[in-house]
Amino acid sequence: MALNKRQSLGDNIFDGVVLLFGFCLFVVMIYPLYFVIIASFSDPSAVNSGRVWLLPSHINLEGYKRVLADERVWRGYRNTILYTIFGTFISLLFTLPAAYSLSRKDLVGRNAIMMYFVFTMFFSGGLIPTYLTISNFRLNNTFWVLLVPFSVSAYNLIIARTFFASSIPQELLEAATIDGCSNTRFFVSVVLPLSKAIIAVIGLYCAVGQWNQFFLSLIYVRNISLQPLQMVLRNILLQNQISALSTVSVNQNELQRVADVMKYSMIIISTAPVMCFYPFIQKYFAKGVMIGAVKG
């Protein structure tokens, strides 16, 4: 019996509803970002009065000029780039060997060790004990406080372990062992070249996390010269808001206008590198979501 390739009216209606729903969802998700972009180029009075909703109004670059003229922003950029590079490297250095070891069936007690890591995903020592521990190691207000103590994520460890267990054949290890290959050489010379996908996924997760780092720097970094970009922009914004609230009424409107115009500019400056880089790496994010999924 030949199948009818023409869709019925009900199928066409269903497809239309799905497309309409998808388009509405896309608009809801993308419009806030688009509004921030056009608001950063518009006059604050036009934004506050609701005249900016589709196109910029009265092009104004004052916010960008004020933010980029502040040397703290460039120092924050430098720190964030260093944290991202070194933090990603250290995370990969600790996560990949641990994940590969836990994927080996000949590791004694690997299930118990894995449960220890999984336990930390649901329960932690709390903020105060963690702060006291880091203080005892004298890592507060140092470059390494945002890199070493929080370098291993249990979630990334599980993803990498699942990839190694399902993608590296046991027969490959047996053949390498017969040829006299040590575990370390097998990991470096065989496993890592075959694991470029998971290295890219874990590296991207770590890099994005380091770039958006805020809470840990707020708790553990008081030295202004070591603060990342997110903290620098927060301090600039709070400084302008406090100035707007504490001045006399003659200058209050002007300072509030400056604070408003800088707010949107800061958002774009802090997210622009990630937004420009993301289209080239989104396929790896999608692959990272699928790694470890149940295959039918």
Q: What pLDDT does 83 receive?
A: 94
Instruction: Using the predicted structure, report yes or no on whether residue 295 has a pLDDT greater than 60.
Output: no
Q: Specify the DSSP element, H or E, that contains 251.
A: helix 249-290
> What does the DSSP assignment read for 97-155?
HHHHHHH-TTSTTHHHHHHHHHHHHH----HHHHHHHHHHTT-TTSGGGGTSTT---HH
Sorted by where each begins, the domain ranges of the chain are 24-68+225-290, 74-222
Interval 77-113: pLDDT, tens:
899 999 999 999 999 999 999 999 999 888 888 889 9
Are the beta carbons of 108 and 50 closer than 8 angstroms? no
One-letter amino acid identity for 236?
Answer: I
Average pLDDT over residues 28-51: 83
Instruction: Using the predicted structure, report yes or no on whether residue 68 has a pLDDT greater than 60.
Output: yes
Are the beta carbons of 177 and 185 closer than 8 angstroms? no
Top-tier CATH class for 74-222: mainly alpha
Average pLDDT over residues 276-294: 66
Average pLDDT over residues 8-23: 88
Q: What pLDDT does 187 receive?
A: 92
Q: How far apart are CA 103 and CA 34, in angstroms?
A: 44
Q: What pLDDT does 256 receive?
A: 67
Are the beta carbons of 284 and 201 closer than 8 angstroms? yes
Q: What pLDDT does 284 receive?
A: 66
Average pLDDT over residues 202-225: 88
- 283 class by beta-carbon count within 10 Å (0-12 exposed, 13-18 middle, 19+ buried): exposed
Are the beta carbons of 269 and 70 closer than 8 angstroms? no
Q: What pLDDT does 220 receive?
A: 92
Angle 71-103/154-167 helices, nearest 10 degrees? 40
Q: What pLDDT does 296 receive?
A: 41
The contacts of residue 79 (CB under 8 Å, 6+ apart) are 226, 227, 228, 229
Q: Model pTM greater than 0.75?
A: yes
Q: How confident is the model at residue 126 (pLDDT cuts 50, 70, 90)?
A: confident
Measured over the CA atoms of residue 178, residue 180, residue 182 and residue 185, the dihedral's sign is negative
Q: How far apart are CA 17 and CA 138, in angstroms?
A: 59
